Amino acid sequence: MMRATCDLPLAVDPDAPYGQNMSMHGGQLPETKPDGQAYEVIKPDAQWRERLTPDEYHVLRQAGTERPYVGEYTDTKTRGTYSCRACSAELFTSDTKFDSHCGWPSFWSPLAGESVVEIEDFTMGMRRVEVRCASCGSHLGHVFSGEGYGTPTDQRYCINSISLKLQPIE
């Protein structure tokens, strides 16, 4: 099996001050989806800061990247549903989570097509596809295709643990 390389996010210096790694985003995320529709959940920046920890805010609202292999759910096998940590919308399920060995929780599909929005991202000098919560627009991670993981979609939704909250199945 071809092993995907995960060197790209590692290039981000985790110790860089907030904002330095994601100069394209700078401040607040846009309030509309790429198709011009408004996100359902819109809060003033101050409310997001109040609701989220500084680390959560950095990833979710400033499109930051969690360091690899440290996330709470990187290797989690617990069955359940993963919701957005910012707005609680259901985003992924354990049924599509797989071992990518890349250091971040990886899914081969979102819970439903409309759960997330995918946006072209040209930061870091190349084209990637950013994944955001379709409900509140918060940053979740990126999606990569055609890496040869042998999953049904051959896609890897590489999602920051800190963007998610797992609701285990009782």
Which span sits near Zn ion by CB under 5 A: 25-33, 79-87, 102-110, 159-167? 79-87
Q: How far is the CB of 88 from Zn ion (least distance, A)?
A: 7
Q: Is 100 left (phi over 0), alpha (psi -120 to 50) or beta?
A: alpha
Q: How far is the CB of 87 from Zn ion (least distance, A)?
A: 3
Out of 131, 133, 158, 162, point to the residue binding Zn ion (CB under 5 A).
133
> Could you confirm whether 87 is annotated as catalytic?
no
**If we measure between CA atoms, which residue out of 73, 81, 63 comes closest to residue 12?**
63
Return d(Cα 55, Cα 166) in angstroms, integer: 18
**Token couple for 89:** 């919308």
136 binds Zn ion (CB under 5 A): yes
Nearer to Zn ion, 6 or 111 (CB): 111
158 binds Zn ion (CB under 5 A): no
Return d(Cα 89, Cα 18) in angstroms, integer: 26
CB 159 within 8 A of CB 141: yes
- Write out the residues near Zn ion by the rule CB under 5 A: 84, 86-87, 89, 133, 135-136, 138
